[in-house]
Amino acid sequence: MTKLETNQICSLRDPRVRAVLDRLHRAARWDLLRFVRLAPTIASGLLRRKTFPESVSPEAMKDCYIPVSRDQGSFLYLTARALGAKRIVEFGTSFGISTLYLAAAVRDNGGGIVIGSELQPSKHQRAVAHIEEAGLAAVVDVRLGDALETLKEVPEPLDLAFLDGWKDLYLPVLELLKPRLRPGAVVLADNIFTFRKSLRPYVEYLQSGRNGFESVTLRISDGTEYSCYLG
Ligand SMILES: C[S@@+](CC[C@H](N)C(=O)[O-])C[C@H]1O[C@@H](n2cnc3c(N)ncnc32)[C@H](O)[C@@H]1O
């Protein structure tokens, strides 16, 4: 466990971690402007009945952070701490904001690994640099490429999974990870309200009681699905 000079045992109070998170959250505020620039591409995708953000190429979205909020990040950290999580998988790392919260928790839990996944090469590169800058590289492995490939091999058993990539893949990624979850593992998924329609099959799968999970949608940010794997 990392005890800081101030006798803190929460890495979110580590000045190195805080400095990177503060800077990235500030930079992410400009996402609104980035989305305005992408409006024509998004609109033409929607006209072709494609859902956003799948209708926009990862290359076009390469400057968009679309991160978890600070509250959501703290929720990720606290959930991972409460679980004593040592093995965490993340679908959709972007610039690494959510990864930093999860990695802080793993370090404070005494060590382990956060396996991240990012499709876009420049985002992957910057996420790796941010994690290094925060001093958390020892507990993170961000894998470049399609998560359906890069997450095929992950350490078992998983304590926690966080889903935040493109929404049409939540269910396939969950199915990929399910055999590796320990009983009592938690799966968190972002954007349930924003992408209500495309995520309905995902939410139904988890809330039906037929697939080994119990689950509830929490009103954190734009909807966070909190699911516990009961085995
Ligand atoms: C909403 S952002 C993730 C934000 C990040 N979790 C955070 O809080 O900072 C979604 C990311 O998922 C990535 N992504 C989308 N589909 C993916 C796939 N099949 N495999 C890996 N990454 C993917 C996108 O490139 C994008 O950067």
Q: pLDDT tens digits, the chain, 231 residues: what are they?
A: 445 444 568 999 999 999 999 999 999 998 777 777 777 777 776 666 666 666 677 777 888 999 999 999 999 999 999 999 999 999 999 999 999 999 999 999 999 999 999 999 999 999 999 999 999 999 999 999 999 999 999 999 999 999 999 999 999 999 999 999 999 999 999 999 999 999 999 999 999 999 999 999 999 999 999 999 999
Residue 147 beta carbon below 6 angstroms from any ligand 1 atom: yes
Distance of CA 203 to CAs 3, 144, 195, 197, 220, Å? 39, 27, 11, 10, 16
68 backbone dihedrals φ, ψ, rounded to 5°: -65, 155
Q: How do 140-144 and 158-163 pair as beta strands?
A: unpaired
73 backbone dihedrals φ, ψ, rounded to 5°: -60, -45
Q: What is the pTM of this model?
A: 0.93
Alpha carbons within 13 A on the beta-carbon side of 174: 28
Q: 3-state DSSP call for residue 33?
A: helix
Distance in angstroms (rounded) separating the CA atoms of residues 199 and 190? 10
**Distance from residue 103's CA to the centre of ligand 1 (Å):** 17
Atom of ligand 1 nearest to the CA of 66: 1
What strands lie across the sheet with 181-189, from one edge to the other?
140-144, 113-118, 87-91, 158-163, 181-189, 224-229, 213-218
Angle, CA 154 vertex, CA 152 and CA 157 arms, to 5°:
125
Q: Which two tokens stand for residue 127?
A: 């996420």
Distance in angstroms (rounded) separating the CA atoms of residues 112 and 120? 25
Residue-level pLDDT at 53: 66
Q: Is the separation of the CB atoms in 120 and 144 below 8 Å?
A: no
Q: Ligand 1 atom 26: the closest Cα is on which residue?
A: 94
Q: Which two tokens stand for residue 164?
A: 């935040």
Ligand 1 pocket test: which of 34, 55, 66 has the largest number of ligand atoms within 8 Å of its C-beta? 66
Residue-level pLDDT at 59: 77
Residue-level pLDDT at 1: 47
Ligand 1 pocket test: which of 70, 97, 166 has the largest number of ligand atoms within 8 Å of its C-beta? 166
**Distance from residue 6's CA to the centre of ligand 1 (Å):** 35
Residue-level pLDDT at 41: 73
**Distance from residue 163's CA to the centre of ligand 1 (Å):** 9
Name which of 135, 147, 131 is nearest 58 in CA terms: 147
**Distance from residue 93's CA to the centre of ligand 1 (Å):** 5
